[in-house]
A and B are shown apart, each in its own frame.
Chain A
Amino acid sequence: MNVSLNEIEVTSRRAAVGAGYPQGIAEDAGAALRWLCATGLSGVEALLAALATPGEPPRTPERNDTIWAWRPATSGGRLSALLLGPCVAEWVEAAPTASPGRIVVEGLVAPLLFLPHAARLAGEGSILVEWHGSDGAARLLIHGDELALAPGSVLLPVSPAEITMSLHPAAASAGLAPTPAAASRRAAIQQGVTIADAAWQALVVLATLSFVPASAQSRLHGAGAGLVDDD
């Protein structure tokens, strides 16, 4: 299915609302999906996984001078990238003193959804993201609009993972091969994005949950012209 970025953003936002997430979180989810798809990373499967696994309510991080850590409150608990992603970036930006060198998030569902927020944190600079999941690991550098992925990295969008972000990566980027994110973004804008049919349909079904079915009352009060208009 070839879809436009606007369709991705709007449908993702509606799906998040349909799944019961607050409006503001849903808006961020839509923007995150737009960023991911434009960057060449299909985030739809990750979003579906996140919407199916609510995760714990986010809390303030455990902090020391060098590391801030968000961990589930319970053993085996899960944190939601939808709820936590925007907050981590904002928490660091709002830090009254120097931000920590590293940020750790454990038990993160659908970790791919975290990348847009890491990119926000990177701003014009760089952030090194290390990703350890049960099904694979990845190391990537986000630098402005570009992503650089370490050889052998696997970005598994769905499996829970521990994410470590180094905010001042210095030379840590050595050996990372830049991906053509800018070219991908141009292509997505020019040509739209291909999404697996099943994933897209699942997202559309969730989005429909934010709609209100017709009722006898709503039909009675419907806006619009009379049924026939032949003046």
Chain B
Amino acid sequence: MNRAVSSPAPAATPLRSPATVMRLDRMGSSFQTRLSFMRALLRRMGRENWRLGLVRADLDDDGFGMAVYEANTGTRVYSLVAFSRALAPEKRTDRVIAEEWDASFALIDGRPSEADIARLADNVPRQEAGRFQPSEIVLCRANKSLRLFDHVVERLAQGRQPDLTTLASVGYLMRTTAVYGNGKFGIADRDKIADRPELAGPYRAEMLAVYLVRAFTLDLVEHVARRRAPERAVALDPQLRRFLGIGNATGLGMAPFLHSHPILIHNWFLARETALARVRALLHVSVEVEAAFRALLARARNHASQWRVADPIQAARIERLEADLAALAVELDDKRSWLSRERPWDSLYHWAESSLSLEGQEALVSLMLEPYPELVDELAETMAAGDGSRLDPTMTVARLREIVAVDYAWTRSIDFAQPERQRKFWYMSEEKLEPRLGDRYAEPGAERELPLAVARDLQALALALGEADPRATAAALALARPDLRHILRRVQTVARHPYGEIRDNLVDAAVRPIDLLRCKLAFFGAAKFDPRSDLWTRITMYQGAPLPDELGRVGADDWNFAVTPDLST
């Protein structure tokens, strides 16, 4: 999308409040935005002329073997070492507890030596069962979408392009089932790369690894087709290559992260809400921006019509989204009620609040940010966070009471004497070494629950604060009540970082963990959320994103709300 000249913001528009934004149902309606990590990473790659590509492939006729991809930033080299193996069909599972995969990968710092490759060959295909070194930055694995992979191989080997409908029904050739960073299994701590500008933002290394995995899947399918029919095989049409993303299956392992990193999450939301406020504050919309916005809306409507899921709840929400976007198009046509108003975007957003579903409202937020790179993109650099969650011992009980009364007012009405208000409990599974969600009244282990029952802990803190001397300090309370230490620190942290708290009861019987997953995955830049239950979802990443040789071209960043390509052009 072309850059647009915008009116400067004459006065700040208030940010949407945490009470509005940090609710599970709205978080579970999130979309990719310009600030999403994949978007920010690819923009940097293009801006800095990174060179990416395959540097080594030792693959047999079936595509089994190893390959190495390089991302050369100009000052550093990162390599994705890929291993592709034969996998018995009965072992192909999305579950994180699988032990074998079609392909496994390590993103490493620098170029691998032969000794590195031999060591990685022994460990990377075993994933969690392997052991790694700080030279490895990310570890991940993926399984083929066998139906689509075989179809594409077959068609290419016949000298034909794959069927577009079949391609669109899946959207990717492989699906990752876990992507590990930050010191897991001995790989590099995040601190090792946190001060490198190219990887300084949240999840940049993981996003880079997944982008290179996508390139591997595209090369792999062409390799197998070529080996099958060397004389006849053709390459994938570049438009189809671009349309194919990389899939992912995500379950509960990711969900507690949003709870346990309040400062980081605050920064993510603050950046997005600041971007939205900047756009809403604009006094006028230029002709160019209006045209670009209309074109993007048309694409978003097409995207929604191609977003098909089996889950009946999400299917109904998508149906409503399609109606919402149609209503938005009608609203845009009524220029007197929109463009002619002062602060047209603010006016449009207010209309959406009262007229559209949460999916529709959040889709509008994503759409509104797209035409304004000059207002939005710099905020992507503000989304990381270091430490800082330490207890302020000087704070008085009186001040703590105020914070609890204001920031945690949402907890007051939750009656934990009602069994359903705490039916669920989060725990670490000994068998799977992953967070899981249990039924407190039907399963053992609730005494070992993870501290996600914020509202319940808060009520205990409020009780203690009510009984304490208002002049007493947090230091005194923490000394006397070590059991309240974590919630005390959390309350203080959230007072400084108000988007850091999810304002819903995460142990309620009705909690839907996929709301947490979708929110986080949307910040990554994912799309086509495809819930398979309340507990896990499939997604598509990098669909429509530029290929490595397209990075930095005009329009390369314009891939939100991807749609099937028009091959007639």
Contacts and interface: CB of A to CB of B under 8 A. Distances in A.
A208 B428 CA distance: 9
Contacts of B94: 224-225, 229
Given A218-B429, A231-B170, A6 B183 contact: yes
Interface stretch (B37-45, B61-69, B341-349, B475-483): B475-483
6 contacts: A24-B485, A87-B478, A189-B192, A192-B189, A222-B436, A231-B145
B475 A231 contact: no
Interface of B: 89-90, 92-97, 133-134, 143, 145-147, 170, 182-184, 186-192, 249, 251-252, 390-391, 393-394, 427-433, 436-439, 442-445, 448, 451, 473-476, 478-479, 482-489, 513, 532-533, 535-536
Given A223-B536, A229-B93, A231-B147, A58 B479 contact: yes
Interface stretch (A88-96, A140-148, A154-162, A169-177): A88-96
Interface of A: 2-7, 14, 17, 21-25, 27-28, 57-60, 83, 86-87, 89-91, 93-94, 120, 189-192, 208, 210-215, 217-218, 221-231
Contacts of B536: 223-225
Nearest to B395: A94
A120 B475 CA distance: 14
A184 B92 CA distance: 44
Given A24-B489, A212-B429, A223-B252, A5 B183 contact: yes
A28 B187 CA distance: 23
A192 B133 CA distance: 8
Interface centre among A14, A87, A218 (most CB of B within 10 A): A218
A94 B475 contact: yes
B444 A212 contact: yes
A217 B443 contact: yes
Contacts of B89: 228, 230
B438 A4 contact: no
B482 A224 contact: no
Contact of B485 (A22, A221, A230): A22
A17 B170 CA distance: 43
B183 A90 contact: no
A86 B478 CA distance: 9
Given A14-B428, A83-B482, 12 more contacts: A4-B188, A5-B189, A24-B485, A24-B486, A24-B488, A86-B485, A90-B391, A91-B393, A211-B428, A224-B96, A225-B249, A230-B147
Contacts of B438: 212, 217-218, 221
B499 to A, nearest CB: 21
